[in-house]
A and B are shown apart, each in its own frame.
Chain A
Amino acid sequence: MRYYMTGEVETIEQAVSRIDSGSSIAAGLALEHSIPFAAGHELLRQGTDDLTMIGPISDLLFDQLIGGGAVSRVRAAWAGNVSAGTGYRFREAVENGTVDVEDHSNFSIALALKAGAMGVPYLPTKSLIGSDIFERSDLFLEESDPFGGDQLALVPAIEPDWTIVHAQRASPAGDAHLWGNMGITDPAVGAAENVLVTAEEIVDPDVIKSDPSRVGITRDKVTAVAECPFGAHPSPVAGYYNRDNEYYLEYSTQTKTQSAYDEWADEWVYGVSDREEYESLVERELGITEPTIAAEVQYGQ
Chain B
Amino acid sequence: MASKTYTDRELMVTAAASEIEDSDTVFVGMRLPLIAFQVAVSTHAPNSMAVYESGVVRDSPADGFIHTMCDLPNLNRAVSTTGMIDIMSRLQRGDVDVGFLGGAEIDRYGNLNTTWVQGGEQEIRLPGSGGACDIACMADRTVLLMPHEPRRFVEEVNYVTSPGHSSDGSGRDTHPQAGGGPSALVTSKATFGFDDDGELYLRSLHPGVSESEVVADFPWEMNTAEDVDEGSVTTTAEPATAELELIRTFDPDGFWT
Contacts and interface: CB of A to CB of B under 8 A. Distances in A.
Interface of A: 30-33, 56-57, 76-80, 82-83, 85-87, 90-91, 94-95, 101, 103-107, 110-111, 114, 125-133, 135-136, 150-151, 179-187, 235-236, 238, 242-243, 245, 248, 288, 290, 292
Contacts of B71: 32, 236, 242-243, 245
Nearest to B63: A290
Contacts of B67: 82-83, 243, 245, 248
A184 B122 CA distance: 34
28 contacts: A57-B130, A78-B127, A80-B126, A82-B67, A83-B67, A86-B126, A90-B125, A91-B126, A95-B123, A103-B129, A107-B134, A110-B88, A126-B177, A126-B178, A127-B133, A127-B137, A129-B177, A130-B137, A130-B160, A130-B163, A131-B136, A135-B160, A181-B56, A181-B70, A182-B83, A183-B83, A187-B85, A235-B70
Contact of A78 (B63, B122, B129, B160): B129
Interface string B84-104: 110010011000000000000
Contacts of A185: 83
B81 A82 contact: no
Contacts of A180: 70, 75, 81
Contacts of B129: 77-78, 103-106, 131, 133
Given A104-B129, A131-B162, A236-B70, 13 more contacts: A31-B84, A56-B84, A77-B129, A78-B128, A82-B30, A106-B130, A106-B131, A106-B134, A107-B88, A129-B177, A150-B178, A238-B72, A290-B63
Contacts of A86: 126-127
B188 interface: no
B236 interface: no
A130 B81 CA distance: 31
Nearest to A81: B127
A105 B132 contact: yes
Interface string B183-202: 00000000000000000000
Contacts of A105: 129-134
A272 B176 CA distance: 52
A221 B131 CA distance: 28
Nearest to B57: A181
Interface stretch (B47-55, B205-213, B219-227): B47-55
Report which residue of A86, A183, A292 has the largest number of chain B beta carbons within 10 angstroms of its beta carbon: A183
B133 A80 contact: no
A169 to B, nearest CB: 17
A131 B52 contact: no
A77 B131 contact: yes
Interface residues of B, number: 51
B76 A292 contact: yes
Contacts, number: 183
B84 A107 contact: yes
Contact of A129 (B75, B78, B84, B176): B176
B68 interface: yes
A106 B84 contact: yes
Contacts of B68: 31-32, 82-83, 243
Contacts of A114: 85
B138 interface: yes
Contacts of B136: 131
A295 B92 CA distance: 33
A184 B125 CA distance: 25
B170 interface: no
Nearest to A106: B131
A20 B232 CA distance: 64
A104 B128 CA distance: 8
Interface in B158-172: 159-163
A186 B81 CA distance: 13
A79 B130 CA distance: 8
B230 to A, nearest CB: 25
B92 to A, nearest CB: 5
Interface in B129-147: 129-134, 136-138
Contact of B137 (A33, A126, A290): A126
B235 interface: no
Nearest to A87: B127
A245 B244 CA distance: 24
Contacts of A30: 54-55, 70
Contact of A132 (B63, B92, B132, B159): B159
A235 B136 CA distance: 28
B43 interface: no
A56 B130 contact: yes
B115 interface: yes
